[in-house]
């Protein structure tokens, strides 16, 4: 297959490109580098089955030659308000890539009679009142909160994808991605795994906000990408959750990372500094992924962290001369 991947230079997009190439496909990567990192694709420069187009998908998309699939991953995804790459600091771009960008990507798929794959998010469930979250849960959302630019862009993109499927008969897929971690995450990503690893490597106490009992599920990037591939090759048009159904509290995660890095500094609690709107629990119900795709995560948290920590150590040294 010849496959267009938007957001190809991002964390997930670059790993997806690698996997598609390993499977023997031809990949056309597309990214405008607003949040994507060219270094994530540098190793593919000599690969004859990989080509790259620098382009903002919020503008009309043209790709010469026939495409068999379009996998739309382009979007800012970092919640970090202190990072220039965080979606709260790129609010209009985030809304445009989820709306106009999705429309343009769907248009390319329609013009090529190609399969369309939409990368959505667990954020569409908002601050859930149902645990774990099945795909038929409509969510508990704040459409005007500061994080809504990302959540609502993804909700719109799902609606538009289903509209193209129902009205135009386009062959579509929607994946709802839960918390994923691994190599190639930005140092200033802002999510808890990068934050904790960097604090631990600097031998600082790990900062836990609130009471530390809030939970998340953590899926290693190779497992998430495996879910993408299986969904793309399936015949399923309705949304499918891809994530790890095993929950960990923030305190548990902090303790594991301190152990694996040999960090003696421990944990510092910040009970009054938890971000407003931060869900207490988010965990996928992956019944449909198991039944339809035969998919479930294979990489345990400790194993995934052991694969991830050396990447952050090298990235920190490279960025700042840290020792």
pLDDT at 322 over 50: no
Q: Of all residues in the chain, what percent carry a pLDDT higher than 70?
A: 97
* Higher local confidence (pLDDT), 237 or 214: 237
Please list, in sequence order, all residues whose beta carbon lies within 8 angstroms of the beta carbon of residue 1, skipping any fewer than 6 positions away.
25, 26, 68, 69
pLDDT at 318 over 90: no
Cis preceding-peptide flag for 6 (omega within 30 of 0): no
- pLDDT interval class at 274 (50, 70, 90): low
Tokens 């248009």, located at residue: 107
Per-residue model confidence as pLDDT tens digits over 279-313 = 678 899 999 999 999 999 999 999 999 999 999 99
| Least confident residue range of 134-148, 233-247, 262-276 | 262-276
**Distance between CA atoms of residues 61 and 106, nearest Å:** 10
Given a contact cutoff of 8 angstroms between Cβ atoms, the answer to whether 264 and 204 are in contact is no
Per-residue model confidence as pLDDT tens digits over 34-85 = 999 999 999 999 999 999 999 999 999 999 999 999 999 999 998 888 888 8
Given a contact cutoff of 8 angstroms between Cβ atoms, the answer to whether 19 and 9 are in contact is no
Q: Of all residues in the chain, what percent carry a pLDDT higher than 90?
A: 87
Give this prediction's pTM. 0.94
Please state the rounded mean pLDDT for residues 5-22.
98
Angular region, 217: left φ>0, alpha ψ -120 to 50, beta rest: beta
pLDDT at 106 over 50: yes
- pLDDT interval class at 270 (50, 70, 90): confident
Tokens 């499918």, located at residue: 240
Given a contact cutoff of 8 angstroms between Cβ atoms, the answer to whether 224 and 244 are in contact is no
pLDDT at 246 over 50: yes
- pLDDT interval class at 266 (50, 70, 90): very high
Closest CA to 169 of 181, 180, 161: 161
Please list, in sequence order, all residues whose beta carbon lies within 8 angstroms of the beta carbon of residue 202, skipping any fewer than 6 positions away.
316, 322
Domains and their CATH numbers in the chain: 2-181+218-244+278-298 (3.40.50.720)
Through-space distance between the first and last CA atoms of the chain, rounded to whole angstroms: 45
Per-residue model confidence as pLDDT tens digits over 130-180 = 999 999 999 999 999 999 999 999 999 999 999 999 999 999 999 999 999
pLDDT at 194 over 90: yes
Question: Got the DSSP string for 208-266?
Answer: EETTS--EEE-EEHHHHHHHHHHHHTS---S-EEES---EEEHHHHHHHHHHHHT-TT-
pLDDT at residue 143, rounded to an integer: 95
Which residue in the list 87, 125, 150, 164 is annotated as catalytic?
150
pLDDT at residue 319, rounded to an integer: 78
Q: Is 87 marked active-site? A: no
pLDDT at residue 323, rounded to an integer: 46
């Amino acid at each position: 297959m010849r496959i267009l991947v938007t957001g190809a230079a991002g964390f997930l997009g670059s790993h997806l490109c690698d996997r598609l190439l390993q499977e023997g496909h031809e990949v056309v990567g597309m990214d405008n580098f607003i949040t994507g990192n060219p270094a994530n694709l540098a190793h593919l420069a000599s690969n004859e089955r990989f080509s790259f187009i620098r382009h903002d998908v919020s503008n009309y998309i043209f790709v010469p030659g026939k495409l068999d699939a379009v996998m739309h991953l382009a979007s800012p995804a970092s919640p970090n308000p202190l990072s220039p790459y965080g979606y709260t600091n790129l609010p209009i771009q985030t809304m445009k890539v989820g709306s106009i960008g999705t429309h343009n990507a769907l248009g390319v798929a329609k013009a090529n009679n190609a399969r369309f794959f939409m990368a959505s998010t667990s954020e569409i469930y908002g601050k859930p009142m149902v645990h774990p979250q099945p795909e038929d849960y409509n969510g508990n959302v704040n459409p005007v909160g500061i994080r809504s630019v990302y959540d609502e862009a993804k909700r719109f993109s799902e609606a538009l994808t289903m509209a193209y499927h129902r009205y135009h008969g386009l062959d579509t897929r929607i994946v709802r991605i839960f918390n994923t971690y691994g190599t190639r995450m930005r140092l200033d990503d802002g999510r808890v795994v990068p934050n904790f690893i960097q604090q631990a490597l600097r031998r600082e106490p790990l900062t836990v906000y609130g009471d530390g009992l809030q939970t998340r599920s953590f899926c290693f990037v190779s497992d998430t990408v495996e879910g993408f591939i299986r969904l793309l090759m399936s015949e399923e048009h309705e949304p499918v959750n891809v994530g790890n159904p095993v929950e960990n509290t923030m305190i548990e995660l902090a303790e594991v990372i301190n152990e694996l890095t040999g960090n003696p500094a421990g944990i510092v609690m910040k009970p009054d500094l938890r971000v407003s709107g931060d869900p207490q629990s988010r965990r996928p119900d992956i019944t449909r992924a198991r039944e339809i795709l035969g998919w479930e995560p294979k990489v345990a948290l400790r194993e995934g962290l052991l694969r991830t920590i050396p990447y952050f150590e090298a990235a920190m040294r490279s960025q700042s001369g840290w020792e």
